[in-house]
């Protein structure tokens, strides 16, 4: 996966303070050859917070941050702060509607994530849930692609998507998944229930565990020669179908 245009922190002190504070650190990169003893606190705190630490050649670090004044360690931070799950439930309660959450199973393209946030805002979704690993975070590229929606749609980052889905189902949500081999047409979905809409990654779709967690799998009829739609486009169709039926 190509690294996104995140905001960068360079140097041991800057990265250490970011991990100590509430800043949303996405990933940490360490140049090969840096003494592990000198970055022990950083790697330990990153591990405690389930933040990925990548050990890469020094040239890679130079390229990512754009200069060589980094002491062999840099971190990418989110362009916007993340929210928590309770905020999503509170938004639904305030509107007096059944919860409607969007769960993204590994959307890597920041343009797609930005587009999904834009659609989520327009369709009245209560928030978006993304995984910590293997997916785009809230980068500046995502913010631009969202056309401002990133400021209005709360995004929750979770460690384990399958476990999160199980917890949401315990709280009354029904999970519907977008899948090319789904049993029914997406227009058949019941929008009156508390819903979690799961959108799989570009190309691979949903992971096995996530797919097995779905209560319903729906497909979008395709009349042409292509076999699938862009993840953001498919997600938008589902979101607006929920909005249409709830209006």
Domain span at 102: 85-246
What is the CATH classification number for the domain harbouring 14?
Answer: 3.30.1330.30
State the pLDDT at residue 187: 94
Q: What is the pLDDT of residues 120-154, one digit of tens each?
A: 999 999 999 999 888 888 887 888 899 889 889 99
> What is the rounded average pLDDT of the residues 210-231?
90
Q: Please say if the pLDDT value at position 105 is more than 70.
A: yes
pLDDT for residue 2: 35
pLDDT at 111 over 50: yes
Tell me if 57 sits within 8 A of 31, measured CB to CB. yes
Among 57, 77, 97, which residue terminates a domain? 77
Higher pLDDT, 237 or 12: 237
137 and 212 assigned to the same domain:
yes
Give whichever of 22-26, 67-71, 81-85 has the largest mean pLDDT.
81-85
pTM, full prediction? 0.76
At 6 the pLDDT is 55
Q: State yes or no: pLDDT of 157 exceeds 90.
A: yes
Query: What is the average pLDDT score of the chain?
Result: 90
Whether 1 has a pLDDT exceeding 60, the answer reads: no
Residue 2 is assigned to a structural domain of this protein: no
Contacts of 108 (CB under 8 A, 6+ apart): 1, 134, 135, 136, 201, 202
**Do residues 40 and 89 both lie within one domain?**
no
Gap between the Cα atoms of 5 and 82, Å rounded: 18
What's the CATH number where 126 sits? 3.40.1280.10
The answer as to whether 99 is a domain residue is yes
Domain limit, last residue, from 77, 97, 130: 77
Domain count, the chain: 2
HSE of 219 in the Cβ direction (CA atoms, 13 Å)?
Answer: 10
1 is a domain residue: no
How would residue 5 be classed by pLDDT, with cut points 50, 70 and 90? very low
- Same-domain check for residues 47 and 155: no
Strand-strand pairing, 216-219 and 174-178: parallel
Bigger pLDDT: 164 or 8? Answer: 164
User: Residue 22: pLDDT above 70?
Assistant: no
Flag whether 137 is in a domain.
yes
Kindly state whether residues 117 and 224 are assigned to the same domain: yes
């Amino acid at each position: 996966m190509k690294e996104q245009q995140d905001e960068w922190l360079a140097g041991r002190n800057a990265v250490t303070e970011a991990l100590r504070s509430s800043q949303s650190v996405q990933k940490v990169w360490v140049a090969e050859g840096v003494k592990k003893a000198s970055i022990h606190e950083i790697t330990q705190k990153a591990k405690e917070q389930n933040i990925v630490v990548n050990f890469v050649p020094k040239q890679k670090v130079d390229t990512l941050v754009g200069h060589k004044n980094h002491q062999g360690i840099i971190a990418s931070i989110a362009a916007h702060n993340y929210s928590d799950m309770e905020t999503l439930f509170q938004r639904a309660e305030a509107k007096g509607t059944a919860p409607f959450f969007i769960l993204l199973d590994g959307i890597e393209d920041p343009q797609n994530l930005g587009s999904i946030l834009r659609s989520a805002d327009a369709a009245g979704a209560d928030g978006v849930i993304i995984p910590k690993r293997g997916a785009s975070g809230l980068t500046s590229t995502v913010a631009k692609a969202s056309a401002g929606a990133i400021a209005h749609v709360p995004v929750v980052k979770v460690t384990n998507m399958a476990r999160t889905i199980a917890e949401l189902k315990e709280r009354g949500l029904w999970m519907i998944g977008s899948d090319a081999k789904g049993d029914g047409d997406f227009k058949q979905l019941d929008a009156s229930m508390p819903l979690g809409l799961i959108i799989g990654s570009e190309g691979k779709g949903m992971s096995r565990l996530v797919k097995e967690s779905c209560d319903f799998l729906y497909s979008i009829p395709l009349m042409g020669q292509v076999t699938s739609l862009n993840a953001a486009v498919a997600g938008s169709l589902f979101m607006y179908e929920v909005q249409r039926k709830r209006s």
